[in-house]
Structure 1
Amino acid sequence: MDIWIIGGIIVLIVLLLVKGIPINFTKLIGQSAIKVTIGVLFLFFFNLFGASFGLHIPINIFTTVVVGILGIPGIASLTAIHLFIV
């Protein structure tokens, strides 16, 4: 079983070396990683400063993606959901 996994990884590496990595795919992955990182930082600082007002938004994959994509309006919408719905 392990030999098949190792063989598959070697074939994938050789294929990528011969054909090359698609630029659009790597650009999309890089931009998504940057947006998720920015979302985590926004949520961290919001929780840091919002603690004095009794506000807390949990840092999970859903809230991180929402804040990463929407930015400050994402934090505002999650705060409104927290205050009025939860």
Structure 2
Amino acid sequence: MRGSVFVEPTIILSILGGVIVLLLLVGAPIRPIRWIGQGLIKVMIGALLLFFLNAFGTMINIHVPINLMTSSISGFLGIPGVLALVIIQTYIV
């Protein structure tokens, strides 16, 4: 199909395979990969905190949407970040 935005899956898999082989041959720097991994873990923990907040907050009408921004804030800032999101959601938005 000409002019389509759709890309064949084989092309995407070939590019990903090439990048993996290149990283295996050249070697990836460990420190940036570790930072990315720690950041992703914090975002997932933030999403989990927001999930529990929404699950138990329905009793008192608290709901904070779970998206990348709110998960990042709650993951990196922890409980104070979750409380800040609740205050922002309750009084500002």
TM-score (norm 2): 0.78
Gaps of 5+ in 2: 1-7
State how 1:4-83 maps to structure 2 within 5 Å.
6=14, 9=16, 11-83=18-90
Bigger fraction of residues in helix: 1
TM-score (norm 1): 0.84
* Residue correspondences, number: 85
**What fraction of aligned residue pairs are identical, expressed as a percent?**
46
> Per the alignment, in what secondary structure is the counterpart of residue 52 of structure 2?
helix
- Residue matched to 2:3: none
Gaps of 5+ in 1: none
Q: Distance in 2 between matches of 1:16 and 1:73?
A: 39
- 1:13-40 alpha-carbon deviations (Å, 9 max, x no partner): 3432222111012101110111011001
